[in-house]
Amino acid sequence: MKNRSRLWHRRLPLRARIIGAFTLGAIIAALFLVIITYGLSRESMLRQRETSSQEQFFANARQVQGALRAEDPDFALLLESLPSLSGSRSILRTSENTWVSLSLAPSDLPTLLIDEVKNASTARQMRYRLEGESQLAVGLRLRPSQISTLTDVAYFEITPLSEIENTLESLGLILILGAIATVLIGASAGLWASGRVLSPLTDISAVAQALANGQFAARVETTDDPDLMPIIRSFNDMAATMEQRIAKDARFASDVSHELRSPLMTLRASIEVMQSRRIELPERASQALDLLAGDVDRFEKLVQDLLDLARSNSGSIPSDLVNMTELVEATVAMFEKQPPISILDGANNALVIGDKRRLAQVFDNLLRNAEKYANGATLIEITQSEGRVYVSVEDAGPGVSPSERELIFQAFTRGNAAKNRGTGGGAGLGLALVDEHTRRHGGSAKAGNRKDGHRGARFTIDLPMVGRK
Amino acid sequence: MNIRILAVEDDERILTALTFALEDEGWQVVKADSGEVALAEFHKETIDLVLIDIMLPGIDGFELCREIRSISDVPIIMVTARDDTHDIVAGLEAGADDYLTKPFAPKELSARIRALLRRSRSDSTNEPLLRVGDLELNRDEGVVSLGDKKIHLTRTEFHLLYELAENPNKVRSREYLLEKVWGYGYFGDGRLVDVHVRRLRTKIEVDAASPQYVVTVRGMGYKLQH
């Protein structure tokens, strides 16, 4: 049972369940009302008709009774003179097989009633159908009079109930229409209520999405609703804790990098002073100086990347119009080994909005990455489609295995290639920064293998394109 | 002529290392480890260029920059914290001509110094008077006349105005101005141009908020309207 209900829950979304519950409730309420109203109305109308019919019947029966005192009453005339309410018709049995009536035949009466009346001393009544219409038949055995020879006289009257039935039919129709309207109202109330109930969930999911996209300041708006308060509060608390954690991490990285800048400054300046005097240095000292200079460069790059990574979580991006062709060309120009740049599909001079320096860093890091793991990039390709500009950097290295394609963009992750080649060079911050900067510019970075069948990696970043120069 | 650079930096190690590097370029370095010492030295000596670290005890870099700017047109290079956009703009607004972020290569510093000094020297060569409307640029004096009013500009401001005034109504991109005035390549910081244009406007425009001379052409650059 429990399993079944859980299954049911799983199959139907919450929204459908709420609407269903409201609709079901409305159906039950409407049915209940329809049945009660119809039943009560029917009863009271019929009873009223019965009462008036009975009143008339007894009045008429009294007159017939009175006529029995005469010696030879003219029953036909009498019956004609009797008032007829709501189309009631009368018939009089004067003896076993003698009937007097203006409009009825004895066969029009239910035999059961005739039999009952024969044996009863009080009036008997019965509902039955005649010629397709519902009728109320009342009968009474009259007391024989001393004068008359007639001893077995019974008076009957039938009143058609079709009029009431028509009214009840209309009432029933109205009630059914009312019931349908009620069910519809119930269903729409369910729709509205489910919207209301789900709206906090919608809000929360929107905020969760914003958090996932790196907008760490996003919070769910608080309400006074005591039912919703706890979940919203705990969600916001969670978001705040997360934001603090991230800010703390970023601040730590930023502080460390800050502190490292001063000694780096001294190191860099001192090394330059020594380098300008390398002729005066002995062979081994000059070799050691080269090692030192190389590692200070690397160290400095690492500190800068770390600082950029820490900083990119906060603050806004400058909104310069950046020409991608110019940017890529200027970045490539800083490298010794310059790959050819291929610009396809009218992507020449594509413009994006953002921070020129950070975007340059993206390509700089991609080119450095290619240099580090694949002896340099072999091709840069710029294309555009559907409002986005794509820049791909290809190399002829070992490529990126499918399992590494996501991982490679995380900080301090290094590709298998590095391990295989045993260089150990480079901290895995470059690609993390590529990912971070492109995401901050509304784009994304992807790693894969070359499409032309040759061995090698292909890194592609895409950015929203705002036009062309 | 011996070029004398006043280097203001409170970290003694950095100051020493930078002094070595600058002296290797053949320049004389006057060292100061605080703003107060720097001001005293500035009054005492003839200084051709000032290098100021923004983070200083006592008088901070911005204030020192403003003090020096109020009495001299000497080229000033600011050394800022790398991750602080606010510092860069504030430093430029305080009157710095250019900036570097720590840690920078001394070679880069030398290149910046040379770019500023080269301009200073070329200012003293004889050039004809340039006239655009009411604006009169006397390259010889580094002075601009607006009608009969004489306006004093720093060399960088003057140079920037001159680049625009050479071809009135021609739109000059920030990259172009960065290269011409500061000697930067593609990766020069456009804020250098923006802040200097702002400074220039406060000096030559009647209402800096709605400039009549140095006009911004959105998405393109600046031009001198005539």
Measured from the Cβ of residue B90, the count of other Cβ atoms closer than 10 Å reads: 18
Measured from the Cβ of residue B148, the count of other Cβ atoms closer than 10 Å reads: 6
For tokens 């020409």, the residue is A323
Statement to judge: residues A337 and A274 lie in one domain: no
Q: Do A272 and B107 touch (CB under 8 A)?
A: yes
Mean pLDDT of B56-62: 89
B190 CB within 8 Å of a chain A CB: yes
Say what the pLDDT of residue A274 is. Answer: 93
Chain B residues whose beta carbon lies within 8 Å of the beta carbon of residue A308: 83
Domain locations along chain B? 4-123, 130-224
| Nearest CB to B11; choose among A262, A326, A327 | A262
Q: What is the dihedral of CA A68, A73, A75, A79, to 10 degrees?
A: -70
- Which ipTM value was assigned to this complex? 0.82
Given a contact cutoff of 8 angstroms between Cβ atoms, the answer to whether A393 and A459 are in contact is yes
Statement to judge: residues A23 and A112 lie in one domain: yes
Which residue range(s) make up the domain with A242?
229-311
Say what the pLDDT of residue B195 is. Answer: 92
Domain holding A288: CATH number? 1.10.287.130
Which token pair is A455?
Answer: 């061995």
pLDDT band at B82 (very low <50, low <70, confident <90, very high): low
Statement to judge: residues A45 and A70 lie in one domain: yes
Q: Is residue A96 part of a domain?
A: yes
Domain boundary, last residue among A311, A345, A375: A311
Per-residue CA distances from B183 to A240, B13, B108, B179 (Å): 46, 29, 12, 4
| Nearest CB to B21; choose among A263, A272, A326 | A272
**Beta-sheet strand order (sheet of A467-468):** A320-323, A350-354, A467-468
The class that CATH gives domain B130-224 is: mainly alpha
Alpha carbons within 13 A on the beta-carbon side of A267:
19
Q: Kindly provide the b/e burial profile for residues B192-220, where b requires at least 16 CB atoms within 10 angstroms of the residue's own CB.
A: bbebbbebbbeebeeeeeebebbbeeeee
* Least Cα separation, residue B155 to chain A (angstroms): 27
Chain A residues whose beta carbon lies within 8 Å of the beta carbon of residue B107: 272
Domain boundary, last residue among A264, A281, A311: A311
The C-alpha atoms of residue A238 and residue A236 are separated, in whole angstroms, by 5
The C-alpha atoms of residue A393 and residue A369 are separated, in whole angstroms, by 10
A8: phi then psi, degrees, rounded to nearest 5:
-60, -40
Please report, in tens digits, the pLDDT of each residue of chain A (469 residues total).
445 555 555 667 888 888 889 999 999 999 998 999 999 998 898 888 888 888 888 888 888 888 887 777 788 888 888 887 778 888 888 877 788 888 888 888 888 888 888 888 888 888 888 888 888 899 998 887 776 677 778 889 888 888 888 888 899 899 999 999 989 998 999 899 888 878 878 888 888 888 887 778 888 888 788 888 888 888 889 999 988 988 888 778 777 877 888 899 999 999 999 999 989 999 999 999 999 999 998 888 888 887 777 766 555 667 778 899 999 999 998 888 889 999 987 888 899 998 888 899 899 999 988 988 888 899 999 999 888 999 999 999 888 888 888 888 887 765 554 444 334 444 568 888 899 889 888 899 999 898 888 889 999 999 999 888 7
CATH 3.40.50.2300 describes domain B4-123: yes
Residue with the bigger pLDDT between A64 and B51: it is B51
Least confident of A151-155, B94-98, B166-170: A151-155
* Least Cα separation, residue B167 to chain A (angstroms): 23
Q: Is residue B206 pLDDT above 70, yes or no?
A: yes
- Give me the residues paired with residue B145 across strands: B136, B150
The C-alpha atoms of residue A171 and residue A184 are separated, in whole angstroms, by 20
Least confident of A415-424, B7-16, B61-70: A415-424
Chain A residues whose beta carbon lies within 8 Å of the beta carbon of residue B111: none
Element housing B153 (H / E): none
Q: Is residue A184 part of a domain?
A: no
Q: Quickly list DSSP for B55-96.
A: --SSS-HHHHHHHHHHH----EEEEE-TT-HHHHHHHHHTT-
| Nearest CB to A261; choose among B85, B102, B105 | B102
* Least Cα separation, residue A380 to chain B (angstroms): 19
The runs of H, that is alpha helices, within B73-213 are 85-93, 106-123, 155-166, 174-177, 190-204
The pLDDT mean for chain B works out to 86
The C-alpha atoms of residue B193 and residue B213 are separated, in whole angstroms, by 16
**Which residues, in sequence order, are CB contacts of A400 under 8 Å at separation 6+?**
A408, A415, A447, A448, A449, A457
Burial class (CB in 10 A: 0-12, 13-18, 19+), B125: exposed
Say what the pLDDT of residue A355 is. Answer: 85
Q: Kindly provide the b/e burial profile for residues B31-46, where b requires at least 16 CB atoms within 10 angstroms of the residue's own CB.
A: bbbbbebbbebbeeee
Tell me which chain B residue has its CA closest to the CA of residue A309: B83
Q: Is residue A434 part of a domain?
A: yes
Which token pair is A357?
Answer: 């320096």
How many A-B residue pairs are in contact by the CB < 8 A criterion? 72
Statement to judge: residues A300 and A329 lie in one domain: no
Chain B residues whose beta carbon lies within 8 Å of the beta carbon of residue A265: 11, 14, 17-18, 102-104
- B4-123 against B130-224: fold identical: no
Which token pair is A431?
Answer: 């690609």
For tokens 């702002």, the residue is B198
Statement to judge: residues A242 and A356 lie in one domain: no
Say what the pLDDT of residue A217 is. Answer: 83
pLDDT band at B84 (very low <50, low <70, confident <90, very high): low
pLDDT band at B205 (very low <50, low <70, confident <90, very high): confident
Per-residue CA distances from A33 to A127, A190, B222 (Å): 26, 20, 80
How many domains does one find in chain A?
Answer: 3
Q: Do A266 and B11 touch (CB under 8 A)?
A: yes
A356 CB within 8 Å of a chain B CB: yes
B218 CB within 8 Å of a chain A CB: no
For tokens 């590494």, the residue is A404
B111 CB within 8 Å of a chain A CB: no
Element housing A205 (H / E): helix A162-212
Q: Is the dihedral of CA A269, A275, A276, A282 positive or negative?
A: positive
**Beta-sheet strand order (sheet of A377-385):** A341-343, A377-385, A388-395, A457-464, A444-449
| Nearest CB to A270; choose among B11, B17, B82 | B17
Given a contact cutoff of 8 angstroms between Cβ atoms, the answer to whether B99 and B67 are in contact is no
Statement to judge: residues A305 and A370 lie in one domain: no
